[in-house]
Amino acid sequence: MTELLVPSYRDRDEQRVDAFYGLLSTYPNLQWIAPDLETADLAAKLRAVHRLRTPDALQAATAIRAQATGFVTNDPVFTRIEELDTAVLDRML
C-alpha cells in the first residue's frame, strides 16, 4: 500500500488515495499482515542473497511466510526469488 500511495500523495490526489483504500480494504482474499521478528529475519536473508532493497525484501518475506500462492508485481526483481510464483504485469501485456 505504501508504494501504491506515494504517487497519489505526491500529486495531492486524495480521490485516488481514497480509491486505493476502497479497493484494497475490501478486495477478496487479500490479507493485511503486520511484520514480525521472523518476517524481518527472512527479509534480511532475502535481501542478502538476492540483493533486494529492504521494502522489496519485506514484501517477499511476508508473502513467503503467509504461504501466498502468487505474487503480482511490475518489478522483475521478484523473479529472483524461487519461493515465489511471481507474475510481472508488463511481461503479460
Per residue in 18-45, pLDDT (tens digit) is: 999 999 899 888 888 999 999 999 999 9
Q: How many Å apart are CA 55 and CA 61, to the nearest integer?
A: 10
Indicate yes or no: pTM above 0.85. Answer: no
Going by C-alpha positions, the residue among 86, 68, 67, 84 that lies closest to residue 76 is 86
For the stretch 69-89, pLDDT in tens is 889 898 999 999 999 999 998
The domain locations on the chain are 1-30, 32-93
| Contact by Cβ (8 Å): 79, 88 | yes
How does DSSP classify residue 87?
A: E
